[in-house]
Amino acid sequence: MEEKDFYKILGVERGASDEEIKKAYRRLAHEFHPDKHSGDKDKEEKFKLINEAYENLKDPDKRAQYDRFGYVGSGQGQQGYRDAGFGADFQDIFGEVFSDFFGGARRRPGPERGADLRYDLDISFEEAAFGAEKTINIPRTVNCSACNGSGAKPGTQPTVCSGCRGTGQVRFQQGFFSISRPCSTCHGTGAVIKDPCTECRGAGKVRTVSTLTVKVPPGVDTGSRLRLTGEGEYGERGGIPGDLYIVMSVSPHPIFRRENDDIICEVPISFPQAALGAEIEVPTLEGQVKLKIPPGTQSGKVFRLKNKGIASVHTGRRGDAQVILKVETPSKLNKRQKELLEEFAEISGEDTTPLRKNFFSKVKEIFE
C-alpha cells in the first residue's frame, strides 16, 4: 500500500503544533471543497486526502503511531462520512469554515416590526392651499383583543415546541453539511398553540378597519406624504407596528394653476380696456380683488399680488398670485363697429403701435 505523507498533504512541518495543523486544514478544506469544484474528480480526491491527513494528525495517539511507523491502524473514526472519506471532525471544523454561508446556529426569531401601509388621499386645490381635516378608513391587521395577540385561548398559553425545543430551528444533514432550518412544527416560532383562540383561530391577529382623522397641513401638493407612526400593520411576536403613509393627490382647479407656492390665473380683457386702461376685479383663493390696468397694457402682462398664493409647507410663508392679462380680439363685429375700426386704422399712426414699429424696423434691417 502506498504510504501517504500527511504532513506534506497539509503543507506543514513534522514538528507543527496542533493549532498550525488545524489552520492548514481549514485553509485547504475551504480551497478544495467539492461545492466549489463540482464535477472535478481530482479536486474531490485531494479533498478526501486532506480530511484523511487531518483525521490522523489531529489525534495525539494516531499522530504518534504515524510518526513512529508511517501508518495508522484500522478504525480511523470515519463515522457519518465513511463513504465520502471525511473525518469525524468534519462537522465541527466546517461549522467554523462556512459560518459566513450559514450564519451559525440560528436562534428563535425575535420581535418583528409590522409592515408599512399606504393610503392615497384625494384633496381639492383649496384644501391643499389652506389645509384640511379628513376622516379616512384604513383596513389593517391588529392584535386580537381576546387573546392579546398570543393566539391561545384566553386562560391558556402557547407551549414550547417539542420538535425544536423552543429554538424555532431544527438541524439536519444535507450532503456534506449540517445546517439549520425553521421548524416545520411551529413554523419557526418555537411555540405550539394547543387551544387556539376562537376569535382569531390561533392567528393572534384579526382584520379590522381603523377610522383615523388626518390633519392635512397647508401647502401640500400632489405626491406629498404624511407619516402616521404606528398606524400600519401590527408586528410579529410582539414587534412594534409599522407606519401609515398618506400620499396626496390634488385635484386641478378650473381657473388656477400652481407654480411652486405661487398661483397663476389668466384673465381676459377687452381691447378698449387694454388701450384705455380700466379697473377690473380678478379672482384669488380668498375672493375677488380690484386690479387697476394702466392704458396701453399689452397682452401677456403679469401683475403680481403679494401674499395671495399658497403657504409653504416648510416655512408657512405665502407665495404670490400672478395675474396674466390676455387681450381678447373681437371675433364678431357689426357694421358700425367695423366702420369705427376702419376709421381708427386710417387715423392711427406708428406712434400708437410702438412694438409693431420696432419689430418691422428690425425686419427691414435684416432683409435690406
Q: What is the pLDDT of residues 62-78, one digit of tens each?
A: 887 777 666 555 444 33
What is the chain's mean pLDDT, rounded?
A: 83
Sort strands 177-182 and 205-216 into parallel, antiparallel or unpaired. Answer: unpaired
Ramachandran region, residue 347 (left: φ > 0; alpha: ψ -120 to 50; beta: rest): alpha
Check whether residue 335 and residue 244 sit in a common domain: no
Check whether residue 211 and residue 299 sit in a common domain: no
Residue 317 is assigned to a structural domain of this protein: yes
CATH number, domain at 207? 2.60.260.20
Residue 111 is assigned to a structural domain of this protein: no
Residue 154 is assigned to a structural domain of this protein: yes
pLDDT digits (tens, 9 = 90+) for 234-284: 888 778 999 999 999 999 999 999 999 999 999 999 999 999 999 999 999
Check whether residue 242 and residue 295 sit in a common domain: no
Rounded to whole angstroms, how far apart are CA atoms 199 and 203? 9
Check whether residue 245 and residue 266 sit in a common domain: no
Check whether residue 217 and residue 272 sit in a common domain: no
Among residues 234, 153, 237, the alpha carbon closest in space to that of 201 is found at 153
Check whether residue 215 and residue 275 sit in a common domain: no
Sort 332 into a burial class: Cβ within 10 Å, 0-12 / 13-18 / 19+.
exposed
pLDDT value of residue 175: 56
Choose one of 219, 250, 281: the last residue of a domain. Answer: 250
Find out whether 219 and 165 touch, Cβ atoms under 8 Å.
no
Residue 179 is assigned to a structural domain of this protein: no
Check whether residue 270 and residue 203 sit in a common domain: no
Q: Which three cell numbers stand for residue 316?
A: 408657512
Instruction: Return the SS3 of 210.
Output: strand
Query: How large is the average pLDDT for residues 182-209?
Result: 86
Domain count, the chain: 3
pLDDT value of residue 39: 73
Choose one of 222, 250, 278: the last residue of a domain. Answer: 250
Check whether residue 325 and residue 347 sit in a common domain: yes
Residue 183 is assigned to a structural domain of this protein: no
Among residues 197, 145, 189, the alpha carbon closest in space to that of 163 is found at 189
CATH number, domain at 53? 1.10.287.110
Check whether residue 131 and residue 234 sit in a common domain: yes
pLDDT value of residue 102: 45
Residue 211 is assigned to a structural domain of this protein: yes
pLDDT digits (tens, 9 = 90+) for 163-179: 888 888 887 765 556 67
Higher pLDDT, 356 or 226: 226
Helix (H) or strand (E) holding 159: strand 159-160
Q: Give the residue numbers spanning the domain of 314.
A: 257-367
Check whether residue 342 and residue 316 sit in a common domain: yes
pTM of model > 0.85: no
Rounded to whole angstroms, how far apart are CA atoms 189 and 117? 25
Whether residue 344 has pLDDT greater than 60: yes
pLDDT value of residue 349: 67
Whether residue 97 has pLDDT greater than 60: no
Got the DSSP string for 91-134? HHHHHHHTHHHH-SSPPPP--BPPPPEEEEEEE-HHHHHH-EEE
Find out whether 305 and 277 touch, Cβ atoms under 8 Å.
no
Check whether residue 129 and residue 233 sit in a common domain: yes
Rounded to whole angstroms, how far apart are CA atoms 227 and 117? 10
Give percent of the chain with pLDDT exceeding 70.
83
Choose one of 226, 250, 274: the last residue of a domain. Answer: 250
Residue 94 is assigned to a structural domain of this protein: yes
Check whether residue 326 and residue 206 sit in a common domain: no
